[in-house]
Amino acid sequence: MILCPDCGCQASDGSYFCPDCGRRLQELPPDVARFVAPEDVRRVPMPVLVQEHPADAGGPPARPGPIPLSELPGQFRGLEAQYGEIYAAEFICPGVYYIATRPSGADSFFGGEYLVVSEDSPAMSPEALSYGVPLPTIPRSFLYDYDYSCKGRHVVEYEAHKYLDEHGLPLPEGASLAADRAFGMDACPEYFGAFPAPEETPWGPALRHERLCNGLFWLETAQAGWVLAIAYPLCSELFEETLDRVALTEHDRAQGIHNTCGYRFYSYQTSCLPLYEMLPFAEDTWGTRIDPAALKNAILKYFPDYGSGDGFSGLQMMEGERLQETPGAGTDFYRFP
């Protein structure tokens, strides 16, 4: 432990600043020090205080939404040397902010989007904080890239939105806890859990299943045989014409698939369409279990207009030309157990 000579607070051995008063406790590594102004010209950063939005001081918790940059905690300016000039900000919940940056100064910085979270945010658990990067210039704060592949972004958004919901506050426009959980299970299954295999299908209960990857399952049914189930986030890149051919459970039809964020289903015959569109992203995982020649033959047999420009214009951009039949390959593009 390190003892702060100013306030007497004890900090961990890896701390560069006192968590209470902000005093620098030890020399910064060169890759960090170059972004921090000299001691005699910089303001010592103070901890981010968890407080309500200034406009609601003394009242109920603030509503989330865009805020003037002047209402960001002052020490956020310490980020700009490394991450670019802050030009937009949103208050999400106490201790959680969204910021957007753009290149600034003589050096070439790439702008970006980030979430900044205070250690004291009532919405965040220690596990949620562990996904962030500690900010050396802002004590007790953590940074998260606002990128789909950033696991922490999904964790923070879900926990922040859950906090808002529990306090009777509206979620940001277009957000829902169901969507947060679904996309979290896709990007960060170690926190949210992996997608479970569906138990119900539009053709009755699933008798057994075979997993292709997280969120992609073959399900055997008594009524329709083997059918394909695709988790909500995995459908983001499918063509509209393919989405129009989807089958939904009665619950998802009644509530709306964009509200439930449930599975989309395809019969074996129709599944050749989404599988073909997803195959380029399968890399060396489940894609090796699909016979591509038979898959194209199935498309040509069951959907001869696919890729002709008559409703399936997207395929021509993928292939650059019409699909070609492979004689002798058949149409059985997957071998079931």
Q: 289 and 275 in contact (C-beta within 8 Å)?
A: no
Contact yes or no for 287/279 (Cβ under 8 A): yes
- Based on the fold, state whether residues 75 and 131 are members of the same structural domain: yes
Task: Answer yes or no: is 302 within a domain.
Answer: yes
- What's the pLDDT score for residue 62? 67
Which pLDDT score is estimated for 14?
54
Structure tokens at 216: 């992609």
| Per-residue model confidence (pLDDT) at position 105 | 61
Domain-located, residue 326: no
Task: Between 229 and 84, name the one with better pLDDT.
Answer: 229
Strand order in the sheet with 96-102: 65-66, 85-93, 96-102, 113-118, 141-145, 133-134
Q: What is the rounded CA–CA span in Å between residue 227 and residue 61?
A: 47
DSSP conformational letter for 108? -
- Say what the pLDDT of residue 41 is: 31
- CA pair distance 117, 316, nearest whole angstrom: 44
Reported as a single tens digit per residue, the pLDDT across 247-287 is: 999 999 999 999 999 999 999 999 999 999 999 888 678 99
**115-157 per-position pLDDT tens digit:** 999 999 999 999 999 999 999 888 899 999 999 999 999 999 9
Neighbour tally for 317: CB within 10 Å: 8
Q: Which whole number is the average pLDDT over 177-205?
A: 98
Reading the block at residue 211, the tokens are 């997993």
Do 149 and 51 belong to one domain? Answer: yes
245 and 270 in contact (C-beta within 8 Å)? Answer: yes
Question: Are 52 and 187 within one domain?
Answer: yes
| DSSP per-residue letters across 121-137 | -TT--HHHHTTSEE-TT
* Residue 28 identity (one-letter amino acid): L
Q: Are residues 224 and 240 in the same domain?
A: yes
- C-alpha distance across the termini of the chain, in Å: 58
Per residue in 51-103, pLDDT (tens digit) is 334 433 434 446 788 999 988 887 787 888 888 889 999 999 999 999 999 88
In a domain, 337, yes or no: no
pLDDT of residue 68: 92
**Last residue of one domain, picked from the residues 155, 173, 191:** 191
Q: Which of 177 and 110 is assigned the larger pLDDT?
A: 177
Sheet holding 264-267, edge to edge: 208-213, 216-221, 225-230, 264-267
The pLDDT score that the predictor gives to residue 56 is 36
186 with 122, same domain: the answer is yes
Whether residues 169 and 259 fall in one domain: no
How many domains, the chain? 3
Contact between 331 and 301 under an 8 Å Cβ cutoff? The reply is yes
Q: Are residues 182 and 56 in the same domain?
A: yes
Does 8 reside within a domain? yes
Asked whether residue 109 carries a pLDDT value surpassing 60, the answer given is no
Two tokens at 182?
A: 């679904």
Domain end (from 135, 156, 191):
191
Task: Tell me, yes or no, whether 262 and 248 share the same domain.
Answer: yes
234 domain residue, yes or no: yes
> 40-54, 262-276, 320-334 — which one is most confidently predicted on average?
262-276
Same domain flag for 61 and 37:
no
Cα 63 from Cα 72, distance rounded (Å)? 15
Which range marks the domain in which residue 108 is found? 45-191
Whether 35 and 91 map to the same domain: the answer is no
Q: Is residue 329 part of a domain?
A: no
Instruction: Look at residue 317 and tell me whether its pLDDT is greater than 70.
Output: no
State the residue for tokens 């999904």.
Answer: 154
Distance between CA atoms of 310 and 241, rounded to whole angstroms?
Answer: 10
**49 and 174 fall within a common domain:** yes
Cα–Cα separations (whole angstroms), residue 320 to 128, 241, 292, 316, 326: 44, 18, 17, 5, 17
Q: Does residue 106 form part of some domain?
A: yes
Backbone angles phi, psi at 219, to 5 degrees: -125, 135
Phi, psi of 217, deg, nearest 5: -135, 145
Provide, rounded to the nearest whole percent, the portion of the chain with pLDDT above 70: 75
Q: Is residue 333 part of a domain?
A: no
When the pLDDT of each residue in the chain is averaged and rounded to a whole number, the result is 83
Say yes or no: 206 and 225 in one domain. Answer: yes
Predicted confidence at residue 38, as pLDDT, reads 40
